Amino acid sequence: MTYFTELGLSGNPDKKSESKPQGKNPLNPPQRQGPNSDGKKPNSKQKTVALVGSLIATSLLGVFLLESGCSKESDKAAATATPIQTAPNPTPAPLLAPPIPATPVASQAPTKKKSRQRKLSASTYENPAYGVSFRYPKNSSLAEGDEAILELAGLGPVEMNFVQLGGTTVSAVELPRKSYAGTDLNTAFFNVSVNPELTSTECAQFAFPQTGDPENDPVGISKTKVGVTEFETVEGFAETENTLADVKFYHVFQNGSCYEFALGLETAGEANPDDINTVKPVDRNEVFRQLSWILSTVKIQPVPPQQKITPEVAAETPTAAINEANTEAH
């Protein structure tokens, strides 16, 4: 008994031991009751509710994770996608032709630049009586009939170059002098004459220039085709102390007549010493080029043959009676 007394325990069971109220001791937390403790056990209904709640929570968590992943993917795709810009005024694309196979650059020949040619302002001359027409520069002067007989300074009138008489001057054109200002050109002309009295053989001949030996020196007659017409042609020169003339004659036989076209120019023979620095020789080739252009436009249309009218003697006055009256008078 002595052992229990030292420990402060009474041997008397009816006497309660005095003890201090126990507070919560952090070093000695209350222990949970296990399944074999004295607490109530959950029934089957509570287990079912707990299981359903757990499934619902798991489903909601999965949906949340799925939506979170999709939103992240869409945000990432939107961040990397290129923004599409729309034009304020869209224009419909034109219809394209089928593609043409490209030609190698090396095989293409270099294109030549075309020189611009000035169009000549021209007028048209027509003579129905002789069926002749031609074109000439509009700023030139035109004359017909007797007014078409040109006079050259110091050389007299321009003569027709037929081998027989009977020719008629039809028309003449003079180029404007101002077109050759500052040169020694006096005049440049295009002359048309017709001789119905010649044959085709005589039309191929010319009256001048003359030579002492026609057989050995044919005066340089040649055939020249201008446009669609073939001409017999010869060139003649005339010179004085102050002037020099160069004339080219062209003959062609049509409508039973001989047509003559004279292309000529006249220049000053000697330049004035005071004008030697201002006057230069005219370009003869350029002058004849323009005159030849007029010749290239010549057209000869068919004309009805002219009938020669012979005087008729009056039938009521016999010739014998007139002779007898003259004899009695003497």
For residues 249 and 236, the answer to whether their CB atoms sit within 8 Å is yes
Confidence of residue 174 (pLDDT cuts 50, 70, 90): very high
- pLDDT score at 199: 96
Q: What is the mean pLDDT of residues 290-294?
A: 96
Task: Say which residue the tokens 């090396």 belong to.
Answer: 106
- pLDDT score at 113: 58
Helix (H, G, I), strand (E, B) or coil at 123: strand
In whole numbers, what is the pLDDT of the chain averaged over residues?
73
Question: How many whole angstroms separate alpha carbon 252 and alpha carbon 231?
Answer: 5
Residue 5 has pLDDT above 60, yes or no: no
Token code pair at residue 231: 């001409």
Confidence of residue 313 (pLDDT cuts 50, 70, 90): very low
Of 299 and 74, the structure prediction assigns the larger pLDDT to 299
Q: What is the pLDDT of residues 141-168, one digit of tens each?
A: 999 988 988 888 777 888 999 999 999 9
Q: What is the mean pLDDT of residues 301-318?
A: 57
Residue 316 has pLDDT above 50, yes or no: no
Instruction: Give percent of the chain above pLDDT 90.
Output: 37
Token code pair at residue 190: 């295009």
Helix (H, G, I), strand (E, B) or coil at 224: strand
Of 288 and 118, the structure prediction assigns the larger pLDDT to 288
Residue 1 has pLDDT above 50, yes or no: no
**CATH level 3 topology of 122-299:** Protein Transport Mog1p; Chain A (3.40.1000)
Domain boundaries, the chain: 122-299
- pLDDT score at 250: 97
Using left for φ > 0, alpha for ψ between -120 and 50, and beta otherwise, residue 117 falls in: beta
Q: What is the pLDDT of residues 18-63, one digit of tens each?
A: 444 444 444 444 455 544 445 455 566 666 767 777 778 777 776 6
Token code pair at residue 102: 């490209």
Question: How many whole angstroms separate alpha carbon 275 and alpha carbon 328?
Answer: 79
- pLDDT score at 242: 85
